[in-house]
Structure 1
């Protein structure tokens, strides 16, 4: 519960005002000490974080991680971390989770002999507000990265903050206007949210965005995730619930989905061909989501 002072300001708001005043006076040391305390207050955590990062104060995550650690106030994934019962430091956990995703992606690509650092052009699809994008940019450079998302403002935030290319996605795959093709299309935790009506259609559309010889990498909630959440799959190996952590997308088009490996393989076979699947990695991402790698044939 946020404490409120006699003046009507919460403890966090008071610390934030004090930190801003110290910055205005040029007292960076004092401001850092106060703003680090403000950053622990739930109601001003992102405001305090933004000031620390923007002024490169002692305690900034940029100094530790060597990348842009700006976080959008509209970032649903940060909100998920902040509201999760197990999370004691949402800023650290959010930023570290993106780094973990990068390491897991790099291991996956090594398994199919297409290292990330030698991949000329990468599309991160369903990229959100950059939880992973910032780490991808550090690894390969902004000039090699494009992002896409359906959430209003997400692509604009990534362009302005990380310097990447980007384009707006759409609610249905047929409405997306693809600027080109990419050597790697990475789709983390989109197929774990799609209803049956668009699941295979998105697979077809995203495969179409892969350049000849390139890869499509995507993740799903598989059997381990279904057991953990006590979900019973139907006869085809599918389950969808109209609920998710997103506050910006209709739950009927972006809920929570669980799929068996058999369902995924059948969709691959029925859309792009079974021979396009070159690698499977159960519970690969976050020790929770299965990973699939498809390779498009050379032109």
Structure 2
């Protein structure tokens, strides 16, 4: 995941809060007024509890107003979001985007957005980021005359908890999408939530068992996290998962990213730090990596052959990560 500072998204708040002298607050919405103590719970927890009570009473309109406000509170944002989406309330992202907007509590990428100082609306930023990735992938594939919508079978490798998967499923349908990740609950979440096939990866590249070969293997921001011991090995193994005539697409932190983070590459054009947004993977196996174009081209040449590279696009994904496209004959 890129550490690029994203522009803030402004959002108006709805409703009225008033602090009372006796340490009570009231929430005015529609024709409902509720008085709750504030001594034992946060504002977000109070709003979440009120929203659940309104749902239980069948007052969907009032519940939607309260839960949209709760969604602005960082400590309950996902709980409020889940209630809005599950009950198809006014304000749901599903109604706007037309896809499954369920987000896992274990999603480290959402956690990145939620904790980042530049993200004023982490839900919108997270969902929009996946949509942006889809458009950038489609542009990349058009450049090599292999449109995404005509691709029979896609493997999204290092797929996480579906930040991008949900958008890929909307474009292709679940039957054409397979996911894989080293985190077990990430794979299970995508399988149960989006209806895709999925299998567990490993920390040892050569131990991965490919169930099939794929017309497109898409590896977003894995090589931007790999230590030198596994960088080339993963490239070799992932290329083996590509079907004849198919593509391997992967991204890296290149020179722009290195300059942005004030990183100095070594003489080979490589830098690794044992730190990342992931809380589920060992930092020595999955940190933060920066590579020059020369480093990447040399690894491609020695691993699968320089002639397999059919396209490269500097700062393509998120205007921050370089993209490389390899084709298998």
The TM-score normalised by the length of structure 1 is 0.97
2:201 is the counterpart of 1:201: no
1:237-282 CA distance string (max 9 Å, x none): 1111111111111010000000111110111011110000000000
**Residue in structure 2 matching 1:184, options 210, 213, 216:** 216
| Correspondence for 2:143 | 111
| Correspondence for 1:69 | 101
Bigger CA radius of gyration: 2
| Correspondence for 1:82 | 114
Q: Which has the higher helix share?
A: 1
**Structure 2 CA distance, aligned partners of 1:84 and 1:23?**
31
| Correspondence for 1:210 | 242
Structure 2 SS opposite 1:43: coil
**Structure 2 CA distance, aligned partners of 1:107 and 1:62?**
25
2:64 is the counterpart of 1:32: yes
**Structure 1 CA distance, aligned partners of 2:77 and 2:267?**
46
**Structure 1 CA distance, aligned partners of 2:202 and 2:42?**
40
| Correspondence for 1:260 | 292
1:56-106 CA distance string (max 9 Å, x none): 000000000000000000000000001111000000000000000000000
| Correspondence for 1:151 | 183
Residue 25 of structure 1: CA displacement?
1.1
Residue 235 of structure 1: CA displacement?
1.0
2:303 is the counterpart of 1:271: yes
Matches within 5 A, 1:4-43: 5-43=37-75
**Structure 2 CA distance, aligned partners of 1:83 and 1:167?**
30
2:328 is the counterpart of 1:296: yes
1:117-167 CA distance string (max 9 Å, x none): 000000000000000000000001000000000113000000000000000
Matches within 5 A, 1:154-165: 154-165=186-197
**Structure 1 CA distance, aligned partners of 2:108 and 2:127?**
14
**Structure 2 CA distance, aligned partners of 1:18 and 1:155?**
33
1:163-206 CA distance string (max 9 Å, x none): 00000011111111111110000000000000000000000000
**Residue in structure 2 matching 1:91, options 120, 123, 126:** 123
| Correspondence for 1:286 | 318
**Structure 1 CA distance, aligned partners of 2:184 and 2:260?**
32
| Correspondence for 1:122 | 154
Residue 7 of structure 1: CA displacement?
4.5
2:256 is the counterpart of 1:232: no
| Correspondence for 1:101 | 133
Q: How many residues align?
A: 295
1:203-234 CA distance string (max 9 Å, x none): 00000000000000000000111111111111
**Residue in structure 2 matching 1:52, options 76, 84, 94:** 84
Structure 2 SS opposite 1:281: strand
Structure 1 gap ranges (5+): none
**Structure 1 CA distance, aligned partners of 2:198 and 2:47?**
37
The TM-score normalised by the length of structure 2 is 0.88
